[in-house]
Amino acid sequence: MTRRRTLSLLDLDPDLAQLLRDERLREAHEQLQVEVRRLPEGPWSAGRLAATNPEHVGLLVLEGVVSREVVVADTVSTELLGPGDVLRPWAVSGSPSLLQITVRWSVLTECRVAILDRRFGNRVIQWPEVNSVLIDRIDHRAQRLATTQAISQLNRVDRRLLALFWHLAERWGRMTPEGMAVPLTLSHRMLGQLVGARRPTVSTAIGDLARRDELVRRANGSWLLRGAPIGAPSDEAERVIPMRRKLLGGEPAELLTPIDAAARPSRGPAA
């Protein structure tokens, strides 16, 4: 990490102040000062942070994109992290594992991160409104991981890729006259790691999608989506899913009723 700077966290990430009002907002703005560092593009030796004081809260990504690769045997699974995500490449204590895994970190575009250290942890206790938003961010990260896992189980790689890109568009997408632009330069290899497929299969599927004009790679390496998002459950899926849940037993009847997708809250694309 390079180039230390100390700034107000609420200037760096104003959304963290969404639950604060008036005097509490002004006080939190003054008191919640954090150190900011830059991460240069390239492999990131985050493992060196394993010896960090476990009382430090973590790292908050302010700008850029980071990838976290988990290697199991000859298979790699990738997670993309960006602004608003809280990283913690250290643990309170090492937990024993029967599965041999390797974790690799890479900075895909130059990043700025805020250091949420022990001093910050002591101060943020005074503002549970900010702490709640940070915990909400962690929960959203878990939801995104679960969504990516579900996408990787779709039949046909072309459907997985379309679902993945619409999922990425929720966070990074920009609407243009030509369609939904996803400004991430993701290689076929990395796309395979995101959807659980081999690179040659991904290349074939992308070719098919390009011929159907549903997913096009732009000259600058980013991607353009056309058409409508996939994944809205059919009537048959809505009928089968409650039946399967009922087999588990014990759910109240209202939990078995399909929810209208239009009624679900949506965060929408990032501004």
pLDDT digits (tens, 9 = 90+) for 172-219: 998 888 889 999 999 999 999 999 999 999 999 999 999 999 999 999
pTM score of the predicted model: 0.80
218 and 132 in a common domain: no
133 and 98 in a common domain: yes
139 and 115 in a common domain: yes
Q: What is the pLDDT of residue 245?
A: 45
pLDDT of 132-145, one tens digit each? 999 999 999 999 99
Q: How sure is the predictor about 77, in pLDDT bands with cuts at 50, 70 and 90?
A: very high
Q: How sure is the predictor about 266, in pLDDT bands with cuts at 50, 70 and 90?
A: very low
pLDDT of 14-54, one tens digit each? 999 999 999 999 999 999 999 999 999 999 988 777 667 88
253 and 219 in a common domain: no
Q: What is the pLDDT of residue 94?
A: 65
Q: What is the pLDDT of residue 239?
A: 56
Q: How sure is the predictor about 90, in pLDDT bands with cuts at 50, 70 and 90?
A: confident
Q: What is the pLDDT of residue 252?
A: 40
Q: Give Cβ neighbours of residue 49 (< 8 Å, ≥ 6 apart).
A: 89, 90
Q: What percent of the chain has pLDDT over 90?
A: 67
Q: What is the pLDDT of residue 128?
A: 96
11 and 140 in a common domain: yes
Q: How sure is the predictor about 265, in pLDDT bands with cuts at 50, 70 and 90?
A: very low
Instruction: Please determine, for residue 253, whether its predicted confidence score (pLDDT) is greater than 80.
Output: no
138 and 85 in a common domain: yes
Question: Token pair of 81, please?
Answer: 């992290």
Distance CA 222, CA 220 (A): 6
For the chain, what is the domain count?
3
Q: How sure is the predictor about 74, in pLDDT bands with cuts at 50, 70 and 90?
A: confident
Burial 110-130 (b: 16+ CB within 10 A, else e): ebbbbbbbeebeebbeebebb
pLDDT of 211-245, one tens digit each? 999 999 999 999 999 877 765 555 554 555 454 44
197 and 241 in a common domain: no
Closest CA to 61 of 18, 104, 8, 116: 116
Instruction: Please determine, for residue 268, whether its predicted confidence score (pLDDT) is greater than 80.
Output: no
Q: What is the pLDDT of residue 244?
A: 46
93 and 168 in a common domain: no
264 and 195 in a common domain: no
Residue-number span of the structural domain to which 75 is assigned: 2-151
Instruction: Please determine, for residue 156, whether its predicted confidence score (pLDDT) is greater than 50.
Output: yes
93 and 193 in a common domain: no
The CATH code of the domain that includes 125 is 2.60.120.10
